[in-house]
Each structure stands twice: as C-alpha cells, then as structure tokens.
C-alpha cells in the first residue's frame, strides 16, 4: 500500500512566494536507513541530482525546481512556508516534497541529522532568500517549473496528481 502524504498549503507572505501546490509530508515513509536508500528511491522516480547534508538555518526557497528532502538520520525542527509558516518535527524516515517557491529553514537539529535532497528530473536549482529584488523574476521562474512526472515516494499517483491543474 502506498503511503498517503499529509498536505499543507502556504500563502505568499510578500517575501517567500510559496506555491499554489501543497507541500507533501510523508511521515515514516521509509524505514530509517542509510542515505543510499533514499537516493535509490528518489532516482527510481525521476528525482535526481541528489545531495546529502542539512537544511540551511535561514529561510530560503528554490524558484527553478521542486525539491524532495528525505531524513536519513536524526531529527530536526524545520519551519516550512516562511516566517508565518508552520514548524514540523522531522525524524529519520520522513520525506517532505517542496513545490518550487516554498520557503524552508532548519530551526534546530540533532547532531546526527542527515538529509538526502533531490530535484524533479534533476532540474537546476537556485537559492533565494526572499530579498526585495528576487521578484518578479522568481515568480516567473516558479510558473515555468513543470509538474513532476512522478512522485518521489509513490511514483505514479502522488505529487503529479495532487499538483495537476
């Protein structure tokens, strides 16, 4: 049985555009495992350009790509949606799918916290921090990012269906 994501929508706060598409949170999507398992799952579903590390400790977003974050180890408190967004406690095995434009920031993390990140179809990505000069170019970029062909966790029947339209 495919896991069902929890969804959250965040409004444009003037600095962080967020998205008309919901953030998808798969709680306990995978058994906590080595980072390789997340990389393999994401790659099988067309989310490539994988990296390992943490989440920046400042609000930022990507205007040119959708991003998936899989928690390979440890835990963290992560703010999603910008200053007025929501704080989530993510733990090993959780996966968050962030549509282009969605703000995120690490508030605190355990010493062993490790994220595996990847991008739909390996798209090039940028890092924007909500500076006044970022827009309207960022909004134009976000509007051009195509809907994923596959969900990074479920393959067919996930983000590409929830984000269509």
Q: For the chain, what is the domain count? A: 1
Q: What is the pTM of this model?
A: 0.95
DSSP run (H or E) holding 112: none
106, part of any domain: yes
- In degrees to the nearest 10, what's the CA dihedral of 75, 80, 82, 83? -60
Q: What is the C-alpha separation between 5 and 24, in angstroms, rounded?
A: 5
Q: Which two tokens stand for residue 84?
A: 């007025």
Report yes or no on 105 lying in a domain: yes
For residue 122 the two structure tokens come to 């390996």
Q: Is 116 exposed, middle or buried (0-12, 13-18, 19+ CB in 10 A)?
A: buried
Residue 27 lies in a domain: yes
Lookup result for tokens 């444009």: 12
pLDDT, one tens digit per residue, over 28-45 is 988 876 788 999 999 999
Domain range enclosing 41 = 13-130
For the domain that residue 44 is a member of, what is the CATH number?
Answer: 2.60.120.10
In a domain, 5, yes or no: no
Give the ranges where 2-98 is alpha helix by DSSP (H): 35-44
Judge whether 25 lies within some domain: yes
Q: Is residue 80 part of a domain?
A: yes
Containing 156, the helix (H) or strand (E) segment is: none
Could you tell me where the beta strands, DSSP code E, fall in the chain? 6-8, 23-26, 47-53, 67-73, 75-80, 86-91, 95-98, 104-109, 114-120
Would 144 be classed as within a structural domain? no
Confidence of residue 2 (pLDDT cuts 50, 70, 90): confident
For 87-107, what is each residue's pLDDT tens digit?
999 999 999 999 999 999 999
Distance CA 135, CA 8 (A): 23
């Amino acid at each position: 049985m495919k896991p069902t994501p929890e969804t959250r929508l965040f409004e444009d706060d003037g600095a962080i555009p967020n998205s008309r598409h919901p953030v998808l949170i798969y709680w306990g999507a995978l058994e906590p495992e080595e980072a390789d398992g997340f990389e393999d799952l994401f790659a099988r579903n067309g989310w490539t350009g994988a990296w390992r590390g943490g989440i920046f400790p400042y609000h930022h977003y990507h205007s040119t790509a959708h991003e998936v974050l899989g928690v390979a180890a440890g835990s963290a408190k992560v703010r999603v949606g910008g200053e007025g967004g929501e704080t989530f406690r993510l733990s090993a095995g959780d996966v968050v799918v962030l549509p282009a434009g969605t703000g995120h920031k690490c508030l605190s993390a355990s010493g062993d916290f490790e994220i595996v990140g990847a991008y739909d179809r390996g798209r090039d990505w940028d890092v924007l921090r909500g500076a006044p000069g970022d827009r309207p170019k960022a909004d134009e970029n976000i509007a051009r990012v195509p809907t994923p062909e596959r969900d990074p966790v479920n393959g067919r029947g996930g983000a590409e269906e929830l984000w269509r339209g």
